[in-house]
Amino acid sequence: MKSRIRAAVVLAAVLGVAATVYGFKESAGQTVDAGSFGIYVNGQRVALEQFTIQQTASGSLINSQLREEGAGEKANQSSVMQLSTKGEIVRYEWHELMPEKSDLELLPNDQFLIERLTLKPGEKPLEQPFLLPSSTVILDNNFFVHRELLAWRYLAQNCKTEGGKFQCVTGPISFGVIVPQERTSMRVSLEPAGREKLPVAGKERELPRFDLKFEDNKWSLWLDDQDHFKIMKIAIANEKTEVIREP
């Protein structure tokens, strides 16, 4: 079964390879997406992620910051991902600002990805190689915008234009991913799961849902197919967690 997909321009903006396929290229420095996600556990808001995705002259730049909310000393983390025009990893940085201070960087080196983790300022970094290509997807723990990038990659790789219409073939697609904070890699799959109605900015909308599956867990992602396939909501049922794009 095939479903019609719109807004191909955003896919092209994020993945340089898609820009070649669709004959479209955004100007350097253009913001592809920017906003924030409220993170809720058991219905209570616990954190906020703010992010930007920009097209640059050399590829894409994704910035994100996560702040826990509530009383007491809370976590404060930031990340910067730089991708080439082909969507490959150029550099990834993660910084923990509170409650501790630690830093992580991930860089390609020949056929490897090299991760360097500094647990405390001034300490020698712990280095770990991964036999993975630079095309590997980064899905760090606490940055939900990374799931949006994965969804766009799925659409870019599994959609084409036929008879003047942009269409996607449904079905699960497997991706190799790295989770830098956990210092591990795994396989995940993403597949369409139909359309569902849910409230968006006070109005009921019917949005396409995609299921992200890995090991023994599943995340549901709802994308706005009328606004550049931005993630509007993520649900992690077995963790009683919801991630909702703020207006």
What is the spatial distance between Cα 106 and Cα 180, in angstroms, rounded to a whole number?
8
The DSSP output letter for 30 is -
Report whether pLDDT(61) > 80: yes
Q: What is the pLDDT of residue 10?
A: 42
Summarize pLDDT for 11-26 with one digit per residue, the tens.
444 444 344 322 334 4
Cβ distance 225 to 5 under 8 Å?
Answer: yes
Contacts of 114 (CB under 8 A, 6+ apart): 106, 107, 108, 127, 128, 129, 130
- Domain spans of the chain? 2-245
Backbone angles phi, psi at 77, to 5 degrees: -130, 155
Identity of residue 182: E
Identity of residue 200: V
pTM recorded for the entire structure: 0.86
Q: What is the pLDDT of residue 55?
A: 86
What is the spatial distance between Cα 238 and Cα 159, in angstroms, rounded to a whole number?
31
Q: Which of 154, 160, 167 is nearest to 213 (CA)?
A: 154
Contacts of 188 (CB under 8 A, 6+ apart): 137, 139, 150, 174, 175, 177, 212, 213, 214
Report whether pLDDT(153) > 60: yes
Beta strand segments in the chain, E: 2-4, 31-41, 44-56, 59-68, 76-84, 89-98, 102-109, 112-118, 126-130, 137-138, 159-162, 165-169, 173-179, 184-200, 203-214, 217-224, 230-236, 241-245
Per-residue pLDDT band at 216 (split at 50, 70, 90): confident
Summarize pLDDT for 229-243 with one digit per residue, the tens.
899 999 999 999 999
Q: What is the pLDDT of residue 221?
A: 97
What is the spatial distance between Cα 153 and Cα 158, in angstroms, rounded to a whole number?
8
